[in-house]
Amino acid sequence: MSPDLHETDFPSFRRPTADDARAVAVWLFQHGERVDMHTVAARLDIGRSTLYRWVGDREKLMDQVILASIGDIWRRSRREAQGTGIERALDAAGRFMHGCIEYEPLTQFAEREPNLALRVLLNPDGLVTKALQASLARETASAAPAITAPAETFGVLAMTATALVWANVAAGREPDIEATIGIMRTVLTAHVS
């Protein structure tokens, strides 16, 4: 070190964090790249054991990545929903399903890694499933307060809709979103008080 350069003059660099790991994973996902633990760790110049400690295994990381990636789709679906009462809530759900299958990174992931995609999307304790359940319950309560379905009903509907849509996408078939909405309508209208 030169005599006129002091330790305090040296630039300091921030160490990567768990939030940085999630941000890298989301970026990779949204750019159509495969999200794997080695790539994320290498991009942050950290060890894989550190990454696992921060975000859990790859399945847990993908759960976080997908949740972060679909929030805007849900907000847009709610904003653009039409109709009144339960039909408004179902229109938002249908728009959301269409938006998700039109979202190339998610569809590419389901086609490229169908087993992992279905494990993540159909995990009853996963972040994505819990968020879908809560969003459907809130939207229904807001649009159709006369429907008094228990919380478990919204969990079953979220899982059913996810399975009907993404199993078809993973298999390379077109999902029948209208039929899925029909099932949701039947279940929810049975709970009108």
pTM of the model: 0.88
Return mean pLDDT, the chain. 92
pLDDT digits (tens, 9 = 90+) for 44-91: 999 999 999 999 999 999 999 999 999 999 999 999 999 999 999 999
3-state secondary structure of 173: coil
State the virtual CA torsion across 147, 150, 152, 155 in degrees, nearest 10: 20
Neighbours of 102 (CB within 10 A): 10
Q: For the chain, give every domain's residue range.
A: 1-56, 67-189
